[in-house]
A and B are shown apart, each in its own frame.
Chain A
């Protein structure tokens, strides 16, 4: 399976708990993007990472949200002290970056976070 893998598919958290969302990019892809989609809204960019580096986090909320993409392992989007407003679908996409013929991004199936 060469696709972008996100897990878990569904995550339920109580208010105040931490949510950890994982994204394994396609094989050979070193660029990862995270998006949030609130109900009935479009995708909003959150953060762009390359291996071990955050390139652009202009779409990330200033507090409680963080992301990482370690040298080994998946990218992690962490939400601390979740609130009901964090309930959304979180999508990850990966690409091979510049110098490649295929400019298309491959998206994962998303993680649906529900805060109760």
Chain B
């Protein structure tokens, strides 16, 4: 019952913007989009979340299309330490997001 689809892998040059897409065509009006990442052998790390409007924080920006069927996570200046698996999850509530299976995500490799 996958709610999101993401590319398996992406490469990005160090210092460039990394744009990670996520399709969530069946998203409902009450569902948020959450992004997490998991650096090798570490616990996942919350990045950002949004409902309708674009969001930005110190880590990343989240662009949600007007129809909300897809979104893009943007790391404006990728560094080698941003190499990780990035997970996109949709959920109505934080509690439901916590009950999500994170799936395979996108493996982002930042190259020098």
Chain A contact residues, CB within 8 Å of chain B: 4, 6, 31, 33, 35, 41-45, 48, 55-56, 58-59, 89, 91, 93, 95, 97-98, 100, 103-110
Contacts of A31 in B (CB 8 A): 95, 98
Contacts of A58 in B (CB 8 A): 99
B62 to chain A, nearest CB (A): 13
Contacts of A98 in B (CB 8 A): 93-95
Q: Indicate which residue in B46, B99, B102, B104 contacts A104 across the interface (CB closer than 8 Å).
A: B46
Instruction: Say whether A33 contacts B46, CB under 8 Å.
Output: no
Q: What band does the interface of chain B fall in when counting residues whose beta carbon is under 8 Å from A?
A: 20 to 34
* Minimum CB distance partner of B43 in chain A: A107
Number of A-B pairs, beta carbon distance below 8 Å: 73
Chain B contact residues, CB within 8 Å of chain A: 32, 34, 36, 38, 41-46, 49, 85, 87, 93-95, 97-105
A99 to chain B, nearest CB (A): 10
B40 to chain A, nearest CB (A): 11
17 other contacts beyond A42-B104, A105-B36, A110-B43, with CB at 8 A cut-off?
A: A33-B98, A42-B101, A42-B103, A43-B38, A43-B87, A45-B98, A45-B101, A55-B95, A59-B99, A93-B44, A95-B95, A95-B98, A104-B46, A105-B44, A105-B97, A106-B46, A110-B41
Please report the C-alpha to C-alpha distance between residue A42 and residue B104 in the assembled complex, in whole angstroms: 5
* Minimum CB distance partner of B85 in chain A: A42
A20 to chain B, nearest CB (A): 19
Instruction: Say whether A43 contacts B98, CB under 8 Å.
Output: no
Please report the C-alpha to C-alpha distance between residue A109 and residue B42 in the assembled complex, in whole angstroms: 5
Contacts of B36 in A (CB 8 A): 105
